[in-house]
Amino acid sequence: MIQIRDLTKIYRGAAGEVVALDSVSLRVRKGEIYGIIGFSGAGKSTLIRCVNMLERPTEGSIIVNGQEMTTLYESQLRTMRQKIGMIFQHFNLLSSRTVFENVAFPLEISGVAKAEINKKVTNLLELVGLADKAQSYPSQLSGGQKQRVGIARALANDPIVLLCDEATSALDPATTSSILELLKDINRKLDLTILMITHEMKVISEICDSVAVIEGGKIIEEGLVIDVFTQPKHSTTRRFVQTIINTDVPDKIRERLLEKGQGQIIRLSFIGDNTAEPVVSSLVKHFDVDVNILYGNIDQIQDTPFGMLIIECIGAKANCDKAVAYLRKQGLRIEVLRSAE
C-alpha cells in the first residue's frame, strides 16, 4: 500500500547540510498497522511527512496505492492528500469550529454536498464515540476527546491510508490505550492501512503488526513486531524493547547464577504455542538430568505469549548435551550460558 524506496531528505541551511533521512526503504502492506519507532531527532517525523509530501523528499520514491507521490502536480497532490488521513500529536483542530464543523472541514474541502456532510459527520462522531459533543468547541474537550475528533476528521474522506504522527504522545497512559484501541478497531472494521510514528514501544506492542526502528535517518531494524521484540538485533532496538519487557537478565542476577552450582546453565526463549508444552518436565523424564529453574519471565505481545527461562541442567555432560539438542528440536531458542564441567 505504501512503498518507500531510497528516500533521502537533506535540509540545507546556513549551518550546512543536515541529512534527516538517509536512503530509507520500507513497505507497508494493505490492512496492516506499521509502526516506526525512534528517539527524537531520528527522522521519523520527516519520514511520515514525506509520505503525503508535507516534506519534499530530496531523493527517492514514495508510492501510495500505486501512485508515485513525488511527481504529482499541485492539484493532483491535493486530490491524493484527501485520500490520505493524518492525525497529529497536538491534534491540530480548528479552535474556531465546533467538533461537528471540524469533522465536516475535510468534506467541505473536497466539495461534498451539505446533506451528505451531515450524514457522514454524524456517523463518524458515532464511530469515535463523540456523538454528544457535536456542538462543543475543542477547548471544551479533554486530550483524548480531541484526538477522537482528529481521528473522525482524518476518516471523513474515506482514506486509503491513515498516518499517525505521535498520535498518543500527548496523552496519559489510560487515554493512550483507549485511543490505540480505537485505531485498532478502525483498522479491523475498515481494513484501513495505518502508518504510525512513535517513540513509545508500548504503542508498537499494543497495536502494530510490523515495526521499523529508525536511528540517524536510517532504518536499522525492521520486521514483524513479535520477531523484533523477541530477537532484537540492534542495541537501540534492545533499548526500546527493554522499556516495556525485560528480555535481558540483569547483570547482578547473571553473575550470581553463574557463581552457583556446577551444572549447565541454559537460557530458553520461547514464542507462542511452545509456552504450553511441558518441556522442562520432559527433560527430567527422558534425559536423566535434574533441572533447576533459576530465572524466568513471560510476557505477551498482542495475542502472542513469549518469554524466557534460565535453567540449570544438572547431570552427566552427555545427558545435558542431549537435553539441549532436544530443546533445540522443540523450536526453542537456546543459549548455553555455561557448559557443564
Partner 1 sequence: MRCYEVPNDVFTHLATLSPELIKATWETLYMTVVSVLFASLLGIPLGVILVVTDKGHIKESLKLNQILGSIVNVLRSFPFLILMLALGPFTRLVVGTTIGTTATIVPLTIAAAPFVARLVETSLKEVNWGVVEASLAMGASTWQIIRKVLLPEAMPSIILGTTITTITIIGYSTMAGVIGGGGLGDLAVRYGHMRFDYVVMVTTVIILVVIVQVIQSLGNLFAAKFNKN
Which residues bind to partner 1, rule: CB under 8 A?
52, 54, 77-82, 84, 86, 88, 90, 92-97, 105-106, 108-110, 137-139, 153, 157, 163
Residue 297: beta bridge partners?
308
Between 27 and 97, CB nearer to partner 1:
97
Question: Cβ distance 279 to 310 under 8 Å?
Answer: no
CB of 212 to partner 1, least distance (A): 21
CB of 92 to partner 1, least distance (A): 4
Between 110 and 262, CB nearer to partner 1:
110
Between 50 and 201, CB nearer to partner 1:
50
CB of 193 to partner 1, least distance (A): 16
CB of 277 to partner 1, least distance (A): 49
What per-residue string of b and e applies to 66-86 under the rule 16 or more CB within 10 Å gives b? eeebeeeeeeeeeebbbbbbb
Q: Is the dihedral of CA 214, 218, 221, 223 positive or negative?
A: positive
Between 148 and 267, CB nearer to partner 1:
148
CB of 295 to partner 1, least distance (A): 47
Question: Cβ distance 232 to 247 under 8 Å?
Answer: yes
- Distance of alpha carbon 265 from alpha carbon 279, whole angstroms: 16
CA 88 from chain center: how many Å?
16
Instruction: Classify 223 as helix, strand or coil.
Output: strand
Between 102 and 319, CB nearer to partner 1:
102
Could you say which DSSP state residue 43 is in?
A: S
Q: Which of 254, 249, 248 is nearest to 235 (CA)?
A: 248
CA distance between the termini of the chain? 55
